[in-house]
Structures are given as C-alpha cells and as structure tokens.
C-alpha cells in the first residue's frame, strides 16, 4: 500500500497573514486523515539552490486524499489568503509499497 505526502516550499511575504493561514489549515486536513509532520525554517542548503525560507511536510493516507483536500471547498477558501501571505510551491509525493 502506498502512502503520500505533501511537501510545501514557502517564502513568507506577510507574517501576520501567514500566521492566520497556518492557524486555519489543520481543520481542513482532518477530514482527509492528514497530519502535519513537520513545519519549520530551512537553516542550510547543503547542496544545490533552494530559494525558500520555510518548509512543511504533511502525511496523507494516499494521493487521492491529497487531491480531495486540495480541491475541497474548505481549503480552496484559504488559497487567496495563502497567496497574499507567501510564495508557495506544493509537491505531492508517493511512497511506493515495499
């Protein structure tokens, strides 16, 4: 069985709006069986180029749950605030079985 994770690379533009957005996200995740694994600041790029200051990793049961969450009315309602608050790249990743 595969599992899936959402990885967000983030550069905060407006800390106050970003905090408001972050406070609202967890309630949108619950219906999809998702859990925030890690939220934090990037302290060093060990190799390559990475222009983002923050990162988030969220565990989902599967890719379908990521899609359902991202397309849900609850999360879609937060996207305008997110776009005002930060530059964000979201990646959906799967862990293959075995």
- What are the structural domain ranges in the chain? 3-95
Assign 7 a pLDDT band (cuts: 50, 70, 90): very high
For range 53-57, the mean pLDDT = 97
Residue 93 backbone dihedrals phi, psi, to 5 degrees: -130, 145
Residue among 52, 45, 35, 34 nearest 89 (CA): 52
Q: How far apart are CA 54 and CA 66, in angstroms?
A: 20
Assign 97 a pLDDT band (cuts: 50, 70, 90): confident
Domain 3-95 sits in CATH 2.70.150.10: no
Q: How far apart are CA 77 and CA 95, in angstroms?
A: 29
Residue 31, number of CB atoms within 10 A of its CB:
12
Assign 2 a pLDDT band (cuts: 50, 70, 90): confident
Percent of the chain whose pLDDT exceeds 90: 93
Is 48's pLDDT higher than 90?
yes
**Segment 8-37, tens digit of pLDDT:** 999 999 999 999 999 999 999 999 999 999
Q: Identify the burial level of 41 via C-beta atoms within 10 angstroms of its C-beta, where 0-12 means exposed, 13-18 middle and 19 or more buried.
A: exposed
């Amino acid at each position: 069985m595969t599992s899936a994770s959402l990885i967000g690379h983030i550069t905060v533009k407006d800390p106050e709006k970003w905090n408001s957005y972050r406070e609202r996200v967890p309630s949108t995740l619950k219906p999809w069986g998702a859990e925030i694994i890690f939220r934090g600041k990037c302290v060093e790029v060990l190799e390559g180029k990475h222009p983002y200051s923050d990162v988030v990793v969220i565990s989902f049961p599967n890719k379908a749950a990521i899609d359902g969450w991202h397309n849900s009315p609850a999360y879609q309602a937060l996207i305008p605030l997110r776009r005002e608050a930060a530059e964000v790249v979201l990646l959906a990743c799967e862990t293959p079985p075995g």
